[in-house]
Structure 1
Amino acid sequence: MVNSGHKKALSNVFLFQGAYFIITGIWPLLGMDSFIAATGPKQDTWLVEMIGLLSASVGLTFIVTSLRRQKPPLVLGYSVALSFLLMDLIYVIKGVIGRVYLLDASIQFAFIALVTFLVIKRKQ
């Protein structure tokens, strides 16, 4: 039987990640100037906005799934978090994007670690 405490904790992790994705996703749409001030110059702002919309879409999926108490979308959660984590690390190391993206990488790593821990605990 699935431990309801672990199930609720996993749902809460997805709820937090969903809110994070929505907030960071719509930020460039609501204020590109402040987004650029915080993260550095961008060549293609339309691409920043598109990634933001995709991020917000994933975040909305996480929130709706959590609030409806449905099974969390683990594959989507892992793949999106890992994608952001890898791109953050690779392009910070290459000097293409600012070190502020290491904060995002840390949040993505924490999400992956928490989900992994809770999935393992749930199976015990």
Structure 2
Amino acid sequence: MTPETLAMIQGWYFLLTGVWPIFSINTFMAVTGPKTDLWLVKTVGAVLAVTGAVLLTAGGTHEVTPAVAHLAAGSAAALAAVDVIYASKRVISRIYLADAAAEVALIIGWAVFYLPKTT
């Protein structure tokens, strides 16, 4: 796998999961559980969608720079942390632990490409 492929995978994941609550909050809540602040869910979705679009652009144009990788891995780490912390406190549904697993896989992917190599 190349950094461009990883950027495309994460880009599609973020774009699709980001627009989902914007276009169908009812199906989103059917899977993820009830929400009280729908505006906040949609705002986070919009930010994820934009991040996904940037990753798709970077991957598609072969411009996956270290800054793009930091954005990708950092976003995945932030989401994984929120997923684990708030699912463990039972504030959000345990289904978010599946998202945390996906985010960790993405972080590992970026680490393979951008952590210093020892010889």
The two structures have a TM-score, normalised by structure 1, of 0.88
Q: Which amino acid aligns with 1:18?
A: G
SS at match of 2:11: helix
Q: What residue identity is the alignment partner of 2:81?
A: L
Match of 2:47?
Answer: 54
Asked if 1:75 corresponds to 2:70, the answer is yes
User: Contact 2:7 / 2:64 at 8 angstroms: preserved in 1?
Assistant: no
Q: Which runs of 5+ in 1 are unaligned?
A: 1-7
Aligned-pair identity (%) = 31
Structure 2 vs 1, CA of residues 115 and 123 (structure 1 numbering), >3 Å: closer, same or farther?
Answer: farther
Let me know the Cα RMSD of the aligned residues. 1.7
Residue type of the alignment partner of 2:78: S
CA radius of gyration, larger in? 1
Aligned structure 1 segments of 4 or more residues deviating by more than 3 angstroms:
120-124
Is 1:14 matched with 2:7?
yes
Contact 2:20 2:28 in 1 (8 A): yes
Shift of residue 115 of structure 1? 1.1
Q: Number of residue pairs matched?
A: 117
Superposed CA offset, 1:38-84 (max 9, x none): 00010100100000000000000000011111133022112101100
Alpha-carbon distance between aligned partners in 1 of 2:23 and 2:97, rounded to the nearest angstrom: 23
- AA at the equivalent of 1:83: A
Name whichever of 42-51 and 63-72 sits farther off. Answer: 63-72
Amino acid at match of 2:39: W
| Equivalent residues of 2:3, 2:64 under 8 A apart | no
Change over 3 Å in CA distance of 1:20–1:120 after alignment to 2 = same
